[in-house]
Amino acid sequence: MRILVANPNTTAAVTERMLAVGRAAAAVGTELVGHTAPRGVPYVSSRAEAQIAGAVLLETLAETATGFDAVIVAAFGDPGLFAARELFDVPVVGYSEAALLTALMLGRRFSVVTFAQALEPWYAETIEAHGLAGRSAGVRCADRSFSSIEAVGAEMEDHLVELARRAVEEDGADVVVLGGAPLAGLAGRVKHRIPVPCVDAMVAAVKQAEAIATLAPVAPTAGRFARPRGKPSSGLPPALADRIAGR
Amino acid sequence: MRILVANPNTTAAVTERMLAVGRAAAAVGTELVGHTAPRGVPYVSSRAEAQIAGAVLLETLAETATGFDAVIVAAFGDPGLFAARELFDVPVVGYSEAALLTALMLGRRFSVVTFAQALEPWYAETIEAHGLAGRSAGVRCADRSFSSIEAVGAEMEDHLVELARRAVEEDGADVVVLGGAPLAGLAGRVKHRIPVPCVDAMVAAVKQAEAIATLAPVAPTAGRFARPRGKPSSGLPPALADRIAGR
Amino acid sequence: MRILVANPNTTAAVTERMLAVGRAAAAVGTELVGHTAPRGVPYVSSRAEAQIAGAVLLETLAETATGFDAVIVAAFGDPGLFAARELFDVPVVGYSEAALLTALMLGRRFSVVTFAQALEPWYAETIEAHGLAGRSAGVRCADRSFSSIEAVGAEMEDHLVELARRAVEEDGADVVVLGGAPLAGLAGRVKHRIPVPCVDAMVAAVKQAEAIATLAPVAPTAGRFARPRGKPSSGLPPALADRIAGR
Amino acid sequence: MRILVANPNTTAAVTERMLAVGRAAAAVGTELVGHTAPRGVPYVSSRAEAQIAGAVLLETLAETATGFDAVIVAAFGDPGLFAARELFDVPVVGYSEAALLTALMLGRRFSVVTFAQALEPWYAETIEAHGLAGRSAGVRCADRSFSSIEAVGAEMEDHLVELARRAVEEDGADVVVLGGAPLAGLAGRVKHRIPVPCVDAMVAAVKQAEAIATLAPVAPTAGRFARPRGKPSSGLPPALADRIAGR
Amino acid sequence: MRILVANPNTTAAVTERMLAVGRAAAAVGTELVGHTAPRGVPYVSSRAEAQIAGAVLLETLAETATGFDAVIVAAFGDPGLFAARELFDVPVVGYSEAALLTALMLGRRFSVVTFAQALEPWYAETIEAHGLAGRSAGVRCADRSFSSIEAVGAEMEDHLVELARRAVEEDGADVVVLGGAPLAGLAGRVKHRIPVPCVDAMVAAVKQAEAIATLAPVAPTAGRFARPRGKPSSGLPPALADRIAGR
Amino acid sequence: MRILVANPNTTAAVTERMLAVGRAAAAVGTELVGHTAPRGVPYVSSRAEAQIAGAVLLETLAETATGFDAVIVAAFGDPGLFAARELFDVPVVGYSEAALLTALMLGRRFSVVTFAQALEPWYAETIEAHGLAGRSAGVRCADRSFSSIEAVGAEMEDHLVELARRAVEEDGADVVVLGGAPLAGLAGRVKHRIPVPCVDAMVAAVKQAEAIATLAPVAPTAGRFARPRGKPSSGLPPALADRIAGR
């Protein structure tokens, strides 16, 4: 089983970290292939950046997503997820989607804990977009600066644990999702310091990708994710233009 | 008052039609300036196309949106709306957002009637994204082909009236929104053939843009639409890169 | 375009203030005509008072609402709005309805800030009645006394700004609506002291009335706002009895 | 225990029918006292009529509601209910409120079946106003004329049974409420012809009035139904003016 | 009218208390018959215990529920309620169901106040299961130990009053339900110390049981509570096996 | 990784079928161990049966659930799921829970298609209990008889495919879940005859159990699934009594 880990951020080190965490969680026979966005921002943290990153993701998938059994949109917030699900035949799962769905099995209400205030509105809208607001206890964000996106998980470890505990005590969370691609692997390190189950989004993403790849679903020809009919375009990268044209 | 009508589609003839309809509805002193997307698809009709069109819209606004009192994202489905609202200081209103909000004043539940089946999932998600699903009676789509996007409104006039009537009788609509930029101006022509109020989205967009421009709101420095902090990027058009960098 | 500003309160000075604020916001060619309730209470601030004021409003409209392109029910809480929309052919917009709809274009969640504790339950029910609770961050009410309904806006200016700030910081408001007819005009004065956009309900009401008047909607003969059939009555003022009788 | 059955309609024969049905259901020691609205319409069937009838109800209660243990607002749609609950110390229950709450104990989803198309929007809003839309399977209305409001229940008996059956089969109703004061007593006659439990609104109203009277609740001095502070008024009937003034 | 008060807890003293409180509230001619669970836990306070207690309740009803006009599932949380409603012809009402429905007539939002932290998740799910979360202001639980389940109401009286007041002031409750069978009778003692109406769940349960017994509903043969067809089983107590077999 | 497949039905042949389907989908190194309920009904198809089966499940888990990395409650409808999640330390996933969560990744709205009318209310409540009603397009049930629970999948294959197609065309399903343990393995056989992705609940259950077992979550000591404190009981099987006693 081959799974594409498509990072819509431009930071290769984060892709590497996700791959390392993902490979440790993958089943025997699951191969993870990483891809880092060729343009955009180092880490997406707003709706405007997600709008752009999602469009770049479509270009990426048009160019690279053949020969895979599933694709992971490897950024919390799932930029371009529904568009990709509509446009490509391969099953696609979102990084936050996977984490939130997995969290549902571990408690009644989940909280997302992450490393930057700017992420709150986008993450909150992501939860709403998945129709899961009724099971959310909210998003808790760190309120301090960090030296680099690669180091943020290590630097903030204690602070994020503290936020997770407050999500449990003050917000009523039954399960905590550590959100944001740079935090991949953190949940495993800190889970014994938090009094409720803790979900690592990358682990969840790999297992959910394996789940949908195992089902090997047909590409829909009806419903809300049926492939749109081919259409001309102008000014788009050739592979994406071809895909939109239905070629 | 200057309002930018930013069409995320690449069809200039649709921009022209919207401007003609909009100017007839505008107040004295309101100037409408049109802009057609330089790349993308002739008319956006899917989530994938909206993902791309929304990113192009941000490029457009970065390059052109100075000196305006308000911006209209001039395509039903509002590609890039929340991203634009977050990234730019000028008030931004969505074409479908304006139509739906206006419809709320004319009935309890609105139906959207439009010209292509492919639009249903995207329009339904748009209604949900605005938090208005509780007041929606659904989306009715024409099920036949048309010769060109410029001609679709004229060709389907009778069929769309019939769909509107069925939305009233079968779905319980109290008000009908004729959705899709190519249908601008149609509501005025057919409203006497439909037993409930009928909203022309372009008329609504202009009046709602005037409304928020009259308020002259401050650019938020708090809340979910506060401008994100500047951030480096790579591979983006210069004006957009500058805007994202906070320059 | 002629718009009736029907104040369901009995305080003429508040009507005058709304007219002054409204005229400054109106388009060229928009004429605002004021009317103050002939009986009832100086300012409606409870559901019981709204029940009475709404009934008086219907009498008012039966007597005066000819020759207008739109009517504004000019009290936050919109007493009698749905009844008036049902009973009369002219488009009718509610004062709070207009403010809330306008706020939706300026943020994800709005807070209403107002001048008296007693208003909270009624305003909260108003938000629910419009189906907008999902986008509300709550109602914040001043907790102090004031010398007169005419003076309350000036006396409480600093306190209301402070409440608006707390709505942003503590409740997560992205946009603030200053509610209550006596506060007409306040938003323009204080908006630079509040970190998110601020909506003046009277400005919103005028612009929304212009919007629906521009559409010139047909009077519905189907749906939930179709005019009821004529019916006899007893003991009602003649004009209202005539209207109910379908005469 | 004395219970006031306050009919907001002006048809005394309907009051008599409700009293007869109610007395057969009442507990030993429960005394029902009827009152018919002195002005208004023969039977309320629209929001405009409910706005007026609710205001008249407040006048009625101000004049007559002393010495009672509970009050029934005896019209489906509950005109003036929340206003009355706020303004008076005696517990007040709505006719449809009682029927809907009782129905909740007999099935997952209830349907309301009634005798006139015009009632649908008002009844639907009533269900929403009580926060019970999530448990509603809809409102089914007869589509034919009747000779008089007193006779409608007898004339339409077969038709209403048929509508109830269709509510079960087509809408998924688990329990049927026969709504509208003129239908008091009908449920008992027809319940064996309907395959799910059937609620007589008048029986429900009496039993629910007995329930809240037995609790003998304190009049709230906090929360959303605390009595508003006294306020001057003009042009209102003396007893109501006194009540609003807190005298 | 004969009503079975089926206590799913094994504490006979609690059954006795409920009967005493219930008899004081019952109408002339209402006979209450108590039953205490023959196995299980002294007081159900978790979902696991409710799962077991609900199954035992079905055994109880299979053995004893003939000759009754209504059944009360006499534990807050209503273990086995929907199952019993489905399996037996006699009308069944839940203890918390009755309390919550009654509370709806006394305020917009209710709070449940109870004696042990462990009850919160179960009670919250109960409120959701009844579709009433939209009218809930939350569950407040005592955080201290008590000497015995029989004594908890007396020992915690002041503390529970304090919690009720905080539910009003901090959570916005308009009405307070004192939940948990061991608190039967407490509301009557303390209601004058709480500024909003207070519901005694046992009083509510008796009056609601009287309400549905008065309606004498048919046993549904359609809808979600139609009796399932007979089915073989193994290892179940004979009376329950007979009932499931449709014998 | 060892996973317990706990079938709350008493039909061993269904357990065997689920194991066969599950093993084909399991990762290398995943061991599935089956268990069939020792008492109860051949297949649970109502809430009453689920109440009993859930209690028996708790007994089963108390006796057998040591040495496992995860437990599957192997019946659609998830009898006893939340109770088990609360009472035991091992992660527990429900059969329908797993299927529904997996379906969320394959479409916007799912439909459940199953083999008996009686299942509709219970399945609908299951969807609501998981907070997923907003993403459901409904439950479609076969309306014909079958020779045995073991044979139902084969006998109804064509009929279920037809129901799935109607769910897509008439109900708007984007993904179909074939529900009910006796249908394990059917989705793989028929998926090419249905125009949208199709979820086999047993495949989903195994992959979701692997997902939560890989996370190896801590047993919560806070939140809504913290283990309740030990409590005495009477009349329960020893292992379950011990577990409830916290021994």
Q: Which residue of D has its CA nearest to E83?
A: D107
**Cα(C138)–Cα(C119) distance, integer angstroms:** 12
Determine the pLDDT at residue C26: 98
Produce one character per residue of C188-208: b if its CB has 16 or more CB atoms within 10 Å, e if not.
Answer: bebbeebbbbbbbbbbbbbbb
**Cα(E200)–Cα(E24) distance, integer angstroms:** 12
Contact F104, F135 (CB under 8 A): yes
Amino acid at the residue E53: A
- Sorted by sequence, the CB contacts under 8 Å of residue F66 that are 6+ apart come out as none
Which domains, ranges and CATH numbers included, belong to chain E? 2-95+205-245 (3.40.50.12500), 97-200 (3.40.50.12500)
Q: Which residue of E has its CA nearest to D128?
A: E134
Neighboring chain C residues of D246 at a CB cutoff of 8 Å: none
Determine the pLDDT at residue A149: 87
- Specify the DSSP element, H or E, that contains A167: helix A157-171
Determine the pLDDT at residue C143: 87
Q: Which chains touch E (3 or more CB pairs under 8 A)?
A: D, F
Strands B92-94 and B70-73: parallel
Q: Which residue of D has its CA nearest to E94?
A: D105
Mean pLDDT of the D55-81 span? 96
**Cα(E71)–Cα(E93) distance, integer angstroms:** 6
Chain D touches chain A, with at least 3 Cβ pairs below 8 Å, answer no
Q: Chain B contact for A81, CB < 8 A?
A: no
Is residue B37 scored above 80 in pLDDT? Answer: yes
Picking from A45, A47, A227, A231 by the largest number of B CB atoms within 10 A of its own CB, the best residue to mutate is A47
Residue F41 burial (10 A CB sphere; 0-12, 13-18, 19+): buried
**Cα(D90)–Cα(D219) distance, integer angstroms:** 7
Q: Higher model confidence: residue D148 or residue B25?
A: B25
Partner-chain residue, chosen from B101, B135, B222, that has the shortest CB–CB distance to C196? B222
Q: Chain E contact for D81, CB < 8 A?
A: no
Residue F84 burial (10 A CB sphere; 0-12, 13-18, 19+): buried
Verify whether the Cβ–Cβ distance A231 to B38 is below 8 Å: no
Q: For chain E, what is the mean pLDDT?
A: 96
SS3 C240: helix
Verify whether the Cβ–Cβ distance B244 to A84 is below 8 Å: no
Kindly report the length of chain B: 247
User: Which CA distances in Å does C134 have to B86, B134, C104, D132?
Assistant: 20, 10, 11, 16
Q: How far is D231 from chain C (nearest CA, A)?
A: 7
Chain C touches chain F, with at least 3 Cβ pairs below 8 Å, answer no
Neighboring chain D residues of E169 at a CB cutoff of 8 Å: 222
The predicted-structure confidence for B197-226, as pLDDT tens digits, reads as follows: 999 999 999 999 999 999 999 999 999 999
Q: Chain B contact for A54, CB < 8 A?
A: yes
Q: Which chains touch B (3 or more CB pairs under 8 A)?
A: A, C
Q: Chain F contact for A108, CB < 8 A?
A: yes
User: Which CA distances in Å does C35 have to C1, C75, C209, C247, D237?
Assistant: 17, 12, 16, 24, 22
Produce one character per residue of C119-148: b if its CB has 16 or more CB atoms within 10 Å, e if not.
Answer: bbbbbbbbbbbbbbeebbbbbbbbeeebee
Neighboring chain E residues of D132 at a CB cutoff of 8 Å: 131
The predicted-structure confidence for A55-77, as pLDDT tens digits, reads as follows: 999 999 999 979 999 999 999 99
For residue D158, how many other CB atoms are within 10 A of its CB? 10
The predicted-structure confidence for D98-149, as pLDDT tens digits, reads as follows: 999 999 999 999 999 999 888 999 999 999 999 999 999 999 999 888 999 8
Determine the pLDDT at residue F191: 97
Confidence of residue B247 (pLDDT cuts 50, 70, 90): confident
Verify whether the Cβ–Cβ distance F235 to E39 is below 8 Å: yes
Cα torsion through E118, E124, E127, E130, rounded to 10? -100
Verify whether the Cβ–Cβ distance B215 to C221 is below 8 Å: no
**Cα(D184)–Cα(D172) distance, integer angstroms:** 24
Verify whether the Cβ–Cβ distance A104 to F130 is below 8 Å: yes
Partner-chain residue, chosen from D93, D134, D199, that has the shortest CB–CB distance to E215? D199
Produce one character per residue of F42-70: b if its CB has 16 or more CB atoms within 10 Å, e if not.
Answer: bbbbbbbbbbbbbbbbbbbbbbebeebbb
Contact A68, A173 (CB under 8 A): no
**Cα(A199)–Cα(F217) distance, integer angstroms:** 8
Amino acid at the residue C161: V
Helices vs strands, H then E, count in chain B: 10, 8
3-state SS, one letter per residue, for chain F: CEEEEEECCCCHHHHHHHHHHHHHHCCCCCEEEEEECCCECCCCCCHHHHHHHHHHHHHHHHHHCCCCCEEEECCCCCCCHHHHHHHCCCCEEEHHHHHHHHHHCCCCCEEEEECCCCHHHHHHHHHHHCCCHHHEEEEEECCCCCCCCCCHHHHCHHHHHHHHHHHHHHHCCCEEEECCHHHCCHHHHHHHHCCCCEEEHHHHHHHHHHHHHHHCCCCCCCCCCCCCCCCCCECCCHHHHHHHCCC
The predicted-structure confidence for C49-67, as pLDDT tens digits, reads as follows: 999 999 999 999 999 979 9
**Cα(F4)–Cα(F72) distance, integer angstroms:** 6
Determine the pLDDT at residue F96: 98
Q: Which residue of C has its CA nearest to B93?
A: C105
Using alpha carbons, select from F151, F7, F13, F4 the residue that is nearest to residue F75.
Answer: F7
Q: How far is F26 from chain E (nearest CA, A)?
A: 30
Q: Which residue of B has its CA nearest to C92?
A: B105
- Specify the DSSP element, H or E, that contains C158: helix C157-171
- Sorted by sequence, the CB contacts under 8 Å of residue A222 that are 6+ apart come out as F168, F169, F195, F196
Confidence of residue F247 (pLDDT cuts 50, 70, 90): confident
- Sorted by sequence, the CB contacts under 8 Å of residue E142 that are 6+ apart come out as E114, E115, E116, E117, E156, E159, E160, E163
Is residue F126 scored above 90 in pLDDT? Answer: yes
> Which pair of tokens denotes residue D47?
């929001």
3-state SS, one letter per residue, for chain D: CEEEEEECCCCHHHHHHHHHHHHHHCCCCCEEEEEECCCECCCCCCHHHHHHHHHHHHHHHHHHCCCCCEEEECCCCCCCHHHHHHHCCCCEEEHHHHHHHHHHCCCCCEEEEECCCCHHHHHHHHHHHCCCHHHEEEEEECCCCCCCCCCHHHHCHHHHHHHHHHHHHHHCCCEEEECCHHHCCHHHHHHHHCCCCEEEHHHHHHHHHHHHHHHCCCCCCCCCCCCCCCCCCECCCHHHHHHHCCC
Picking from B71, B78, B214, B225 by the largest number of C CB atoms within 10 A of its own CB, the best residue to mutate is B214
The predicted-structure confidence for B127-174, as pLDDT tens digits, reads as follows: 999 999 999 999 999 988 899 988 888 899 999 999 999 999 999 999
Q: Scanning the structure block, which residue is given the tokens 């599935």? A: F32
Partner-chain residue, chosen from A29, A102, A222, that has the shortest CB–CB distance to F195? A222
Mean pLDDT of the D159-177 span? 97
Q: How far is CA A34 from the centre of its chain?
A: 13
Question: What are the residue ranges in chain A where pLDDT is below 50?
Answer: none
Contact B84, B58 (CB under 8 A): yes
Q: Chain F contact for A69, CB < 8 A?
A: no
- HSE-CB of F176 using CA atoms within 13 angstroms: 36
Neighboring chain F residues of E231 at a CB cutoff of 8 Å: 41-42, 45, 49
Neighboring chain E residues of D210 at a CB cutoff of 8 Å: 27, 207, 210
Contact C200, C168 (CB under 8 A): no
Neighboring chain E residues of D173 at a CB cutoff of 8 Å: 223
Contact B174, B147 (CB under 8 A): no
> Which pair of tokens denotes residue B99?
């139509």
Contact C67, C2 (CB under 8 A): yes
Is residue C206 scored above 80 in pLDDT? Answer: yes
Chain F touches chain A, with at least 3 Cβ pairs below 8 Å, answer yes
Q: Chain C contact for B151, CB < 8 A?
A: no
Angle between helices C119-129 and C95-104 (to 10 degrees): 60
Q: Higher model confidence: residue A116 or residue E162?
A: E162
Partner-chain residue, chosen from C97, C107, C218, that has the shortest CB–CB distance to B105? C97
Q: Chain A contact for B120, CB < 8 A?
A: yes
Determine the pLDDT at residue E2: 98
Q: Chain C contact for B108, CB < 8 A?
A: yes
Verify whether the Cβ–Cβ distance E46 to F10 is below 8 Å: no
Q: What are phi and psi of E211, to 5 degrees?
A: -60, -50
Determine the pLDDT at residue E166: 98
Determine the pLDDT at residue B117: 86
User: Which CA distances in Å does F134 have to A129, A243, D173, E136, F138?
Assistant: 11, 32, 20, 20, 10
Contact C91, C98 (CB under 8 A): no
Neighboring chain B residues of A48 at a CB cutoff of 8 Å: 58, 83-84, 86-87, 228, 244
Q: How far is D25 from chain C (nearest CA, A)?
A: 31
Partner-chain residue, chosen from E42, E118, E236, that has the shortest CB–CB distance to F52? E236
Contact B54, B79 (CB under 8 A): yes
Verify whether the Cβ–Cβ distance C214 to B207 is below 8 Å: yes
User: Which CA distances in Å does B26 have to A16, A102, B81, C26?
Assistant: 54, 51, 22, 13
Verify whether the Cβ–Cβ distance D223 to E134 is below 8 Å: no
Q: Chain D contact for C52, CB < 8 A?
A: yes
For residue C65, how many other CB atoms are within 10 A of its CB? 23
SS3 E177: strand
Confidence of residue F143 (pLDDT cuts 50, 70, 90): confident
Verify whether the Cβ–Cβ distance E207 to D214 is below 8 Å: yes
